[in-house]
Chains A and B, each alone.
Chain A
Amino acid sequence: MAKKQEIDARHYDVILAPHITEKATLLSEFNAVVFKVARDATKPQVKEAIEAIYDRKVKGVNILVQKGKSKRWKGRPYSRTDVKKAIVTLVDGQDPIDITSGI
């Protein structure tokens, strides 16, 4: 815990939550983990944040924005929020990140 406090709080603003799905678990074969990240986060920011929070070396970061679906409610269209996801690949030979323990 004490170690966590040294971590800059801004990193926690970047990484929002782990993205746990069937597809994401399949990615663990390639040493990759998926996170939901802030809408304005960049690849270098994500890399920095993951390295700081989990203390692992990051090989690369791929980022995508999943657009929110447009829905209708009582005939009025609206759209769900967009979600930015980051697929973080770790350098080989490290312990995998335990995503279920939360951030």
Chain B
Amino acid sequence: MQIVETTNEGLKRAYTLTIPASSIEARIDAEVKKVAPQVRMPGFRPGKVPTNLIRKMHGASLHSEALNASLRESIDTLMRDKQLRPALQPKVDLAEGYEEGKDAEVTVELEVLPEITAPSIDGLALERLVVPVSDEALDESLAKLAGSQKSYKDAAKTKKAADGDQLIIDFVGSIDGVEFEGGKAEGAPLVLGSNQFIPGFEEQLVGVKTGEEKTITVTFPEDYPAENLKGKEAQFAITVQQVKTESETVVDEEFATSLGLESLDKLKELMKVQLEQESAGLTRTQMKRQLLDKLAADHDFEVPPTMVEAEFGQIWEQLTNEIAREENPEEGMKEIEAEKDDYRRIAERRVRLGLLLSEIGQANGVEVSQQEMRMLIQQAAQQYRQEDRQRFVDYVSQDPMAQAQLRAPLYEDKVVDFLFDKAEVTEREVTREELEAAIEAEEGGAEAKPAEKKAPAKKKAAAKKDAAEAEAPAAEADAPAEAAAEEKPAKKAPAKKAAAKADDAKAEGEDKPAKKPAAKKPAAKKADKD
């Protein structure tokens, strides 16, 4: 086999390989010999078919198989000989005019992964900001929970419905005396002022009493989804069955039992655990950011442009989708056009961090075990309907690409955990506000430097994405898609400087929940690992 290097610039490499016909021929012969004992043909006892006949019958398929095998093999040897680590699937082209019996000429184009000097993982100093759950916070969230569990009590017959009251109504809607589809309901609960119904509907019901019958006329809005109702005027004949007033929910034993718990203490305990998890998530986010910041600052190497391009393409698509849904797409387009370079930088940073993390993981033997993988698949399968689950599991266990997609976030998490273990972690107790402020402060600081602008906000997302990419270079995981999604609010923020911080904080908040499904690990488990 002959290897000729045609390009070698930066991380790009191209080679021309020539595979001699004789080696392909030899492979076919070997293959024929292998299949001969199994071939059945009428007129022959099994396995007694002469080789020349086998060749006649299966020659074409055997040949293409042999050609593929020798292609693969020669590419493998190429990689080994030149010590290449391809970033993405190499592009392989068979020269035109190839026929059986001729030498095969193959051009291989690929991008290599940059040489990453095994990152030093010792001496990383991180600060863990811990938020103890305070009683006030507990009470507050309890109150919030109570507020969301509004209950309504039957009001006296004479009570006139006001804003905030709940009505139980029957209604029949008609246009020009003709009833229309979906315009009829019985016993429908409606909270006045909640704007659940079309505008004007609820307003006209203010002041009704229990048992009252009323006919109102409402105009459907122009942007109503149903085509035949748009902008039409409709009459609704309404019977009020009951007027209910809102009643305050008090946090007490009864409330706890109504939620299906044994006692108030139990409820409090649960709330506390939940809050702890929440703040643990924040803490982790903050630590991870610190870590990635440090890594990014310490390492700088060339990254494969196609990987960056793919990453960038994804961000871009996400953005354009987002903008298309906004009110004035043109303006939004302009805005992101102006920041195109920034997004490119972000993409590059993500790729770089991803490579770095996977490198660290590999160097230190971080692995995702079979068992964890199974669990991941199970969890991912939960999103599907019952009957599709088995199909999904089968699909994933057969498709290495899909597996990589699932594995990537977990792998990244594990690497980060590993680094946390290694790093010198100093613990500091802070309040939740301080923790949030710390996250914001970093953002603010970074924003000052234009080059680093916006980066911190999405570091986390970036890292996840990167890991995904590093894991499955060719595969575009859905983790990345999520990452991009999370990141959106953060990205918009710098554009609207004033709102930046608030938005960033929000992005941060979103980071966490989004992260969990992505990692497909129960929060508890994560907590253990920490």
Q: Which residues of A contact B (CB under 8 A)?
A: 19-22, 24-25, 100
Apart from A20-B53, A25-B50, list 12 A-B contacts with CB within 8 A.
A19-B43, A20-B43, A21-B43, A21-B44, A22-B43, A22-B44, A22-B45, A22-B48, A24-B43, A25-B53, A100-B53, A100-B56
B27-67 with Cβ < 8 A to chain A: 43-45, 48, 50, 53, 56
| Nearest chain B residue, comparing its CB with the CB of A22 | B44
Chain B residue with Cβ nearest A23 = B43
- B48 to A, closest residue via Cβ: A22
Q: What residues of chain A lie closer than 8 Å to B45, measured between beta carbons?
A: 22
* Smallest CB-CB A-B distances: 4 pairs: A21-B43, A22-B44, A100-B56, A20-B43
Q: Which residue of the partner chain A has the closest CB to B53?
A: A100
Give A19 to B48 CA distance when docked, in angstroms: 16
Give complex CA distance A22, B53 in Å: 11
The residue on A at minimum CB distance from B50 is A25
A to B CB contacts below 8 Å, 11 in the list: A19-B43, A20-B43, A20-B53, A21-B44, A22-B43, A22-B45, A22-B48, A24-B43, A25-B50, A25-B53, A100-B56
- What A residues does B44 contact at CB under 8 A? 21-22
Q: Enumerate chain B residues within 8 angstroms of A100, measured Cβ to Cβ.
A: 53, 56
B39–chain A nearest beta-carbon distance, Å: 12
The residues of B that contact A19 with a CB separation of less than 8 Å are 43
- Of all chain B residues, the one with the shortest Cβ separation from A101 is B56
Chain B residues closer than 8 Å to A24, beta-carbon distance: 43
Complex Cα gap A16–B50 (Å): 23
Q: How far is the CB of A8 from chain B (nearest CB, A)?
A: 28
Shortest Cβ distance from B32 into chain A, in angstroms? 15
Q: Which residue of A lies closest to B43 (CB)?
A: A21
The residues of A that contact B43 with a CB separation of less than 8 Å are 19-22, 24
Contacts of A21 in B (CB 8 A): 43-44
Residues of chain B lying within 8 A (CB to CB) of residue A22:
43-45, 48
Rounded to whole angstroms, the CA-CA distance of A21 and B53 in the bound complex is: 11
Complex CA distance for A32 and B50, rounded to whole angstroms = 16
Given the complex of chains A and B, what is the CA–CA distance between A20 and B44 in angstroms?
Answer: 9
Shortest CB-to-CB span from B119 to chain A, Å, is 63
B53 surroundings in chain A (CB, below 8 A) = 20, 25, 100
- Shortest distance between the CB of B349 and any CB in chain A (Å): 63
Q: How far does the alpha carbon of A100 sit from the alpha carbon of B45 in the complex, in Å?
A: 18
C-alpha gap A24/B48 in the complex (Å):
13
Q: State in angstroms the CA–CA spacing of A19 and B42 once bound together.
A: 11
Measured CA separation A25–B50 after assembly (Å): 8
Residues of chain A with a CB closer than 8 A to B48's CB: 22
In the complex formed, the residue of A with least CB distance to B41 is A20
**Nearest residue, chain B, Cβ from A100:** B56
CB distance from A91 to the nearest CB of B (A): 22
Instruction: Kindly list chain B residues whose C-beta atoms are within 8 Å of the C-beta of A20.
Output: 43, 53
For residue A25, which residues in chain B have a CB less than 8 angstroms away from its CB?
50, 53
Q: How far is the CA of A19 from the CA of B56 in the complex (A)?
A: 16
Report the minimum CB–CB distance from A29 to chain B (whole Å).
12
Q: Which residue of B lies closest to A24 (CB)?
A: B43
Q: How far is the CA of A100 from the CA of B56 in the complex (A)?
A: 8
In residues 43-93 of chain B, which contact A (Cβ within 8 Å)? 43-45, 48, 50, 53, 56
Q: How far is the CA of A9 from the CA of B277 in the complex (A)?
A: 90
- Distance, CA A25 to CA B45, complexed state (A): 13
Docked Cα-Cα span, A19 to B44, in Å, equals: 12
- Chain A nearest CB: distance from B43 CB in Å? 3
A22–B48 CA distance with the chains assembled, in angstroms = 8
A30 → B minimal CB distance (Å): 16
Q: How many whole Å from B359's CB to the nearest CB in chain A?
A: 57
- Give the CA-CA distance A21 to B41 in the complex, in Å: 9
- Output the least CB separation between A39 and chain B (Å): 21
Residue from A19, A24, A25 having most chain B Cβ neighbours under 10 A: A25
- Smallest beta-carbon distance A22→chain B, Å: 5
Counting chain A CB atoms within 10 Å of each CB, the highest count among B43, B53, B56 belongs to B43
Interface string of B259-286 (1 = CB under 8 A from A): 0000000000000000000000000000
B489-527: contact bitstring with A at CB < 8 Å (1 yes, 0 no)? 000000000000000000000000000000000000000
CB distance from A35 to the nearest CB of B (A): 14
